[in-house]
Amino acid sequence: MSRTADIVVLPSNLKFCRLTWESSGDIIQKVASYEAVHRVHGLVDIRRRLGLHRRCFYFLHEALPRESLVIVHVALTDQIASNVQNITKDEDLNYPEANDSTAIYYSITSTQKSLSGVDLGNLLIKSVAAQISREEPQINTHATLSPIPGFRSWLLRALKEPQNFGNVISDFCLEHLTSITKQKVDPAQARKLLLNLLCNERIELEKIEIVKPILQRLCAQYLCVEKRNGYALNPVTNFHLRNGAEVFRVNWRGDTSARGLYNSFGLMVNYRYVLENVNTNSSNYVNKKVVAIDSQVKNLLFDPMDFAGQNVWNDYTCDQGNWENFSSNDFPLANQWRAPRPVKVAQRKAPPTVGADGLTKAERRQKNREAAEAARAAKVERKLANIRRQEETKKLQTEKKNQKAQKECDRSMQQLNRRETRKC
């Protein structure tokens, strides 16, 4: 997707719509109730989200003409937003939209669980970016303001069980805690201090402010380094990287709601879509498992000014995040802070056991997974087919009623004509 090719081809049965305050009341009510990222608080709130400097788009399916399938909320601003409070609660919006230069996608919600395997979010984001680029040509930056679900639970697990989830206590963490406590802290003490501070279900920002640099660096590690099968461990990160975005910035106090504090200590992240690089970033991530990250996030992972005052990133393309250009062995500090994995003693593995069906346990698991995916896809197809049949049945019934009504009308006219003829 580029600025020169803004046309997005949609399937014929999908309809791309913009929601406004003049839209049908039932659709507005459903969109408000479906909002899963940032809850809508009444009519004033939903009207603000549909007003000046705000946009809301959604997909409709011909089989469900009054049900939105996936919804995205967009804020038009003059810079990449760092917290959601300014977007959802900002009331000072009486200025021209021509001053806006950035589109912030701050909420993406899928409403139909049965379509969870269908990647409609990617298609909607591209459609919205193309639409906004056409309607508002001054918008030259597209980025999200996204939550980080799972960060808090991942960090607490790693602190409680480093032997199972890896050691996240780096030299940077030890040095920061030593400067706070005014005494030397070892890894075990650091884990205990952090657990005492972060384990409370009711997080108080003022108390955890002292470990802000540690949390920001660990969050960058969680987003960019922690992987599952070579791809980002966090599902939201994986979604946006597959779509061609780059990890742009980690924001402190991004979401200070109770939910935001519980999920990620209030941290949020911006994923930036550079339209000219979307296809390249997506291909590199899907095929080569290369994560595109901005220099702001790289500087959280490795402090570039710690190397004798020289910026080690000068030789690398920060916007592309090409991690293949360097090895951590080239930079001593990288090996100091990066969380070492627990040493595992190599053991001779027994050959996999073959069951009565002639399959190993791994092969059987893969077969079951494929069968489950096929069953899920078939279920979705059956549901859509059933909906189409119901619509066709209703259509036929309506046609029969219309035909019957037309016949009655014709019969009445014929009788009236006969009466007129007799009188004459």
- Is 260:266 a contact under the CB 8 Å cutoff? yes
CA separation for the pair 293, 272 (Å, rounded): 9
Q: List the Cα angle 29/240/39 in 5-degree steps.
A: 25
**Is 38 annotated in the active site?**
no
Query: Six-digit token pair at 119?
Result: 């990647």
Contacts of residue 108, defined as CB under 8 A and 6 or more positions apart, other chains included, come to 37, 70, 71, 72, 121, 124, 125, 144
Distances (CA, A) of 240 to 54, 123, 276, 330: 21, 12, 16, 30
User: Which parts of 67-226 fold into alpha helices (H)?
Assistant: 85-88, 120-135, 151-160, 162-165, 171-181, 187-198, 205-208, 212-224
146, 170, 264, 282: which one is catalytic? 146
**DSSP symbol at 5:** B
Nearest CA to 4 out of 276, 219, 375 is that of 276
Q: How far, in Å, are 39, 111, 232, 245, 315 from residue 36 at the CA level?
A: 6, 9, 22, 22, 42
Choice among 142, 240, 264, 282 that is catalytic: 240
**AA identity, residue 304:** P
Secondary structure of residue 33 in the 3-state scheme: helix
* Pair of tokens at residue 267: 């941290």
Q: Is 146 a catalytic residue?
A: yes
Catalytic residues: 146, 240
